[in-house]
Structure 1
Amino acid sequence: MDFDLTDDRRMLADTLGRYLGDRYGFSERTRIAGSEEGFSRTSWQDLAGLGVIGALFGEAAGGYGGAGFDLHTVFEQLGRSLVVEPFLGTLLAGKVLEAAGGQQALLDEVIAGTRLVTAALYEAEGRYDPLHVGTRATAREGGYVLTGGKAVVPQLAAADVILLSAKLEDGLALFLLPRSAPGVTIREYGFVEGGRGGELLLQDVVLDADARIGAGHSAQELIEHAVAAGIVALASEAVGIMEFARDATLDYLRTRTQFGVPIGKFQALQHRMATVLLEIEQARSATINAAASLGGDRLSRERAVSAAKFTIGRVGTLVAEEAIQMHGGIGMTWELPLPHYAKRLTMIDHQLGDEDYHLVRYIRLGEAAGAEAA
């Protein structure tokens, strides 16, 4: 499966690729990932100025893209350079804001790169299910009181505003929470592949009535649509990472010699590399299919994104292991970019649902589709 980039997407990919190649080399990326915030606000502003954040959202929301293939174009480039800036949290929260409406001023600031938002949609007891919500919201005069907690929230400590889900008496609801609100506790930590996240604890946090968003929409639908976009983004990032690992491994096989010949001449390694190349194309096809599904009906979309996430998890593990093994001992050294890319593939498998979770989910969605057709 393949698709042709539009002129705008081709220009975006070229511009972003050139910027990252010139300004975001591996040594600079390592410095940024190890910094106090885990990303560079200067780079974030640069990327906003290039229109990269705006490409994630539609024209009605102040952007100029927002479709599945726009996400694919951006995140594939981000994966190739192992970018640690807060794109995932911005996308998840921004997609909810875009669909819910009524938050254009905040979205404008997000797209301009002047305010950071993130999404706190997952809880420790939920095992990757964003609709498993234990955080409680109690209505009171003039607003709400929230108590509970959220797990593994990307760039939590740096975000100005946190979008989170909570359970009211009559069902799920979504709220915008200022990070500095009284009763908010953040436990921050670094991610294994760079960047930072944290656990969010809420103890009797008082919010005004206008902190609730999307009251006229189904919170479940808003969450599912945002997470589907997030999965397309992660899958696209993984494709970019796998392309880097492929190119680095092919280059190593062509230049590393043993017994007077390049090790790429050995048939056993050729067969292993051929398998890697085929599997990467499978992952790319699943990702493109998921990107194309974002504008479709719910069951088709959800099955496509679960299929893509399962495929990315399976293929990502294969590519990471084979690339490092074909490099030998040098593939484990900190100074080489490859193991950092491999760690990111491992992390992607565990974000927004791992391989096992999405395989089971894909099967259940298929059963639901069959029952609906009957």
Structure 2
Amino acid sequence: MNFELTEERQMLQDTLRRFLRDRYDTATRNKILNSDTGMSSEIWSELADLGVIGALFTEEQGGFGGKGFDIAVVFEELGRAGVVEPFLDTAVLAGGLIADLGNEDQQAHIETIIEGKLQLAFAHGEPASRYDLTRVSTTASEKGDEIILNGRKAVVVNAEAADVLVVSARESGEQGDADGISLFLVPRDAKGLTIQGYALLAGGRAAEVTLDDVVVPASARLGAAGDASSAIEARIAAANVAQTAETLGAMDTACRLTKDYLLTRKQFGRPIATFQALAHRMSDLLIEMEQARSAVILIAGHLEADRGTRERHVSATKNLIGRVGRLVGEESIQLHGGIAMTQEYELAHIAKRIVMADHRFGDVDHHLERFIALAAA
């Protein structure tokens, strides 16, 4: 496997890194986090103009990337800068499902997404589903040319800002069955749709979504009835590539901030980086970082592989990134001391982001059990 970035990906990485270095500092992020929307529409538009969203879609879909390494390059830089805008939810998840399953009319949304003019949210997780992608109890009942949706969705990231929600619902089968799950495009202002929003600890906003006799036309269905499960799993795999790469970027920032602090902070007349015990702890972090980087390369390189190979790499990488991320987050704070806990210091946000990443799309224990099951199968 060639680990070198292509010329196009290298250009994308350099451009994105320069832009975020100039435009996305700690003060800017804190201002965004304290806003009502939890995101900056100005920065979103500027990043869209740079082609960041287009890099997350294939050429056939209207973009210029869409492969595992394209996703990893973009999200590592977003994680390195601590960007809180919902690129994962609008482009990789909801936008990706429209691109994968949508008909010609529905796929017309992709151009608008790439231009940064359409916000989306993926409403799939439910209060009792935990990390099980097939545990869907929200119902979809067909009545003539209409679909009636009823149920609740939990922790729907970007729901408040979304123009359209991609909602999963069960048309047949029992809770836990892979068959019978469909996806529907539901406008933000649909009658019977209730959104109760809140801020997330790692940045951005999410919401609890209630669907009470929400009526949408049958044409709002994405793909064939009851056949969305495999597409959802594939998109969650792509989201895991994005999130693990984003966490890797955040860990890289945490290590850089810690190294700089150890070289700057003096005790007994010399930098504390010269103390052997602290130097050894920092070395351990850098070694773990290299292992994490290798895992992200593997998951990105196997995103287009067969389902069994892809999902084994997903679970292996999520488990490793979760363990290394917790180590990096905790050690970075310990090596800094009290300053690391202040909101005005960059590490405070980065460390929370690293640790909370483990709780989305499955934590270390979930993916350890899942990897064992996939390997046995």
When the two structures are superposed, what TM-score results if normalisation uses the length of structure 1?
0.96
The answer to whether structure 1 residue 365 and structure 2 residue 368 are counterparts is no
Measure how far apart 1:24 and its partner are.
1.3
Deviations 1:310-341 (A, max 9, x none): 11111110000000100111111221110110
- Other structure's SS at 2:154 match: strand
Deviations 1:14-63 (A, max 9, x none): 11111111111111111112111000111111111100000001011110
The answer to whether structure 1 residue 161 and structure 2 residue 170 are counterparts is no
Deviations 1:67-97 (A, max 9, x none): 0000000000001110011111111011111
- Take 1:204 and 1:218, find their aligned partners in 2: how far apart are those partners? 22
Measure how far apart 1:199 and its partner are.
0.8
The answer to whether structure 1 residue 294 and structure 2 residue 294 are counterparts is no
Report the AA paired with residue 372 of structure 2.
Answer: I
Return structure 1 stretches of 4+ with deviation > 6 angstroms. Answer: none
5 Å-filtered alignment, 1:250-265, equals: 250-265=259-274
Corresponding position of 2:7: 7
Aligned Cα root-mean-square deviation (Å)? 1.2
- Other structure's SS at 2:121 match: strand
- Take 2:226 and 2:48, find their aligned partners in 1: how far apart are those partners? 29
Corresponding position of 1:84: 84
- Other structure's SS at 2:283 match: helix
Measure how far apart 1:218 and its partner are.
3.2
Corresponding position of 1:16: 16
Report the AA paired with residue 228 of structure 2.
Answer: A
Determine if contact 2:166/2:186 at 8 Å carries over to the other structure: yes
- Take 1:26 and 1:98, find their aligned partners in 2: how far apart are those partners? 34
Corresponding position of 1:284: 293
Measure how far apart 1:287 and its partner are.
1.0
Determine if contact 2:185/2:221 at 8 Å carries over to the other structure: yes
Deviations 1:78-129 (A, max 9, x none): 0111001111111101111111131221111111111111111111211112
- Take 2:346 and 2:2, find their aligned partners in 1: how far apart are those partners? 28
Within the candidate set 112, 115, 136, 1:109 is matched to: 112
- Take 2:225 and 2:299, find their aligned partners in 1: how far apart are those partners? 27
Determine if contact 1:123/1:130 at 8 Å carries over to the other structure: no
Determine if contact 1:239/1:283 at 8 Å carries over to the other structure: yes
Determine if contact 2:68/2:301 at 8 Å carries over to the other structure: yes
Report the AA paired with residue 109 of structure 1.
Answer: T
Report the AA paired with residue 116 of structure 2.
Answer: G
Report the AA paired with residue 83 of structure 1.
Answer: V
Report the AA paired with residue 296 of structure 2.
Answer: T
Corresponding position of 1:371: none
- Take 2:89 and 2:135, find their aligned partners in 1: how far apart are those partners? 19
Within the candidate set 176, 181, 193, 1:184 is matched to: 193
Matched positions, count: 368
Greater displacement, 248-257 / 94-103? 94-103
- Take 1:243 and 1:189, find their aligned partners in 2: how far apart are those partners? 29
User: Gaps (5+ residues) in structure 2?
Assistant: 174-179
Determine if contact 2:138/2:150 at 8 Å carries over to the other structure: yes
Corresponding position of 1:28: 28
User: Gaps (5+ residues) in structure 1?
Assistant: 369-374
Greater displacement, 176-185 / 99-108? 99-108
Percentage of pairs with the same residue: 51
- Take 1:34 and 1:130, find their aligned partners in 2: how far apart are those partners? 32
Measure how far apart 1:284 and its partner are.
1.0
5 Å-filtered alignment, 1:28-177, equals: 28-90=28-90, 91-102=92-103, 103-169=106-172, 171-177=180-186
Report the AA paired with residue 102 of structure 2.
Answer: G
Measure how far apart 1:186 and its partner are.
0.6
5 Å-filtered alignment, 1:233-252, equals: 233-252=242-261
Within the candidate set 180, 203, 216, 1:194 is matched to: 203
- Take 2:226 and 2:186, find their aligned partners in 1: how far apart are those partners? 19
Determine if contact 2:319/2:364 at 8 Å carries over to the other structure: yes
Report the AA paired with residue 255 of structure 2.
Answer: R
Determine if contact 1:254/1:263 at 8 Å carries over to the other structure: yes
Determine if contact 2:13/2:73 at 8 Å carries over to the other structure: yes
Deviations 1:155-206 (A, max 9, x none): 1110000011110025111111111100101110000122111111111111
Measure how far apart 1:152 and its partner are.
0.7
Measure how far apart 1:277 and its partner are.
0.6
5 Å-filtered alignment, 1:219-238, equals: 219-238=228-247
Report the AA paired with residue 3 of structure 2.
Answer: F
Deviations 1:283-328 (A, max 9, x none): 1111111111111000110110111111111111000000010011
Corresponding position of 2:339: 330
Report the AA paired with residue 296 of structure 1.
Answer: A
Deviations 1:132-171 (A, max 9, x none): 1010111111121110011111111100000111100251
Corresponding position of 2:330: 321
- Other structure's SS at 2:22 match: helix
